[in-house]
């Protein structure tokens, strides 16, 4: 079956072709027998994608630490005592060197993240140069810069940016348990601004922060019911960081994580569903089940923004064992 590549968002008019998924309906998916849920998700996946193809992205922290926000999971918050060292915005040449290395290793998308509440104009100008440089290498470009101010999404689009990443993190009802320095609505405002500017969205959440299954279903409902569902949906497994409020949380049941991947695939059938943070701690068997359930994108490389990632050689070996093709 040929692979469906989602179109770029042209406007934020509600797309009448995609169904409205209520949280209660998604919760019912979660509660299906595990094998039935996986079979339904896998059938949905095959209707829209080649089930043996995985898209690989590389993520680089271009400005690390010192963020003013209080996200309870994040080592980059200036409010918490962690071992993370603050760093200034990386020089353009260093970023492009990293992008070239990622391309040589097989990544097709290069993602750049900066620890800001929102970018200042002088910093945004530097990021725009990075975007242009990555595009000149023939790669897709993605950035995550925090909440966007008026006109910034349009500047990113004009520079050639493909994807803007801004996760909802968790459901509206649980949001205050995770973040208090900004609101859930402010995150939604940035997603709408990016869509209005014609950018593809990379928007997902973090699983395992103490939320309920009902909260997970509500998060997926909010994502699926955006005017256009995100073209890319990263599902992050919490990596507890010592020194943060969530640094001592117990790990989530792996089957619950797989159920979340499967539910995301069913309700957002044409989106790339990405295994993101926490993959280093996952067994090969768990990852294989996630791929069967509809995950078809990974971060490729030994580091994410502030956490480790699966070793490249391990990923290559796993792809060989499973007969997967990387793009």
Q: How far apart are CA 325 and CA 47, in angstroms?
A: 18
pLDDT for the residue numbered 53: 97
pLDDT for the residue numbered 14: 46
pLDDT for the residue numbered 67: 80
The answer to pTM > 0.85 is: yes
pLDDT for the residue numbered 2: 36
Profile the chain (327 residues) by mean pLDDT over runs of 10 residues.
Answer: 36 54 97 98 98 92 82 79 78 95 88 90 97 96 94 98 96 94 92 97 96 98 96 94 90 96 98 91 95 93 52 89 95
- Give residue 3's Cα distance to chain centre: 20
User: Which two tokens mark 175?
Assistant: 């949001």
- List active site positions: 67, 71, 74, 111, 142, 202, 274
Map tokens 């200034």 to a residue.
88
* Residue 127 exposure: Cα atoms within 13 Å on the Cβ side: 33
pLDDT for the residue numbered 84: 67
Please say whether the beta carbons of 1 and 53 come within 8 A: no
pLDDT for the residue numbered 55: 92
pLDDT for the residue numbered 201: 97
The 8-class DSSP code of residue 34 comes to: H
Please say whether the beta carbons of 120 and 149 come within 8 A: no
For 75, 76, 275, 309, 316, the CA distances from 35, given in Å and listed in that order, are: 37, 39, 20, 28, 28
> Looking at the DSSP assignment, which residues form a beta bridge with residue 299?
57
* Region of residue 26 (left: phi > 0; alpha: psi -120 to 50; beta: else): alpha
Phi, psi of 54 (to 5 degrees): -125, 130
Domain 23-326 sits in CATH at 3.20.20.70
Q: Is the dihedral of CA 245, 273, 296, 144 positive or negative?
A: negative
What are the residue boundaries of the structural domains of the chain, listed by start? Answer: 23-326
Work out whether strand 232-237 and strand 272-275 pair parallel, antiparallel, or are unpaired. parallel
Counting Cβ atoms within 10 Å, is residue 307 exposed (0-12), middle (13-18) or buried (19+)?
A: middle
Phi, psi of 209 (to 5 degrees): -95, 15
Map tokens 């859930």 to a residue.
184
pLDDT for the residue numbered 18: 62
């Amino acid at each position: 079956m040929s692979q469906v590549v989602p179109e770029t968002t042209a406007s934020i008019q509600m797309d009448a072709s995609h169904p409205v998924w209520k949280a209660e309906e998604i919760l019912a998916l979660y509660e299906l027998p595990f094998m039935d849920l996986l079979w339904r998700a896998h059938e949905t996946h095959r209707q829209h994608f080649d089930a043996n193809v995985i898209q690989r992205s590389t993520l680089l922290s271009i400005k690390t630490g010192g963020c003013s926000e209080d996200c309870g999971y994040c080592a980059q918050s200036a409010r918490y005592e962690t071992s993370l060292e603050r760093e200034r915005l990386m020089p353009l040449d260093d970023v492009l060197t990293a992008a070239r290395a990622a391309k040589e290793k097989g990544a097709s998308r290069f993602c750049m993240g900066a620890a800001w509440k929102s970018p200042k104009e002088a910093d945004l100008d530097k990021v725009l140069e990075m975007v242009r440089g990555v595009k000149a290498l023939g790669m897709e470009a993605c950035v995550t810069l925090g909440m966007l101010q008026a006109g910034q999404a349009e500047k990113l689009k004009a520079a050639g940016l493909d994807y803007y990443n801004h996760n909802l993190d968790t459901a509206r009802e649980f949001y205050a348990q995770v973040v208090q320095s900004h609101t859930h609505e402010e995150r939604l405002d940035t997603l709408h601004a990016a869509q209005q500017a014609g950018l593809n969205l990379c928007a997902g959440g973090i699983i395992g922060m103490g939320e309920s299954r009902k909260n997970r279903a509500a998060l997926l409902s909010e994502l699926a019911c955006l005017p256009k569902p995100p073209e890319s949906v990263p599902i992050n497994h919490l990596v507890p960081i010592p020194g943060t409020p969530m640094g001592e949380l117990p790990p989530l049941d792996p089957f619950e994580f797989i159920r979340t991947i499967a539910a995301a695939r069913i309700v957002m059938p044409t989106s790339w569903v990405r295994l993101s943070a926490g993959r280093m701690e996952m067994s090969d068997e768990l990852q294989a089940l996630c791929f069967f359930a509809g995950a078809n994108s990974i971060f490729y490389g030994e580091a994410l923004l502030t956490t480790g990632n699966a070793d490249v050689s391990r990923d290559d070996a796993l792809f060989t064992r499973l007969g997967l093709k990387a793009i």
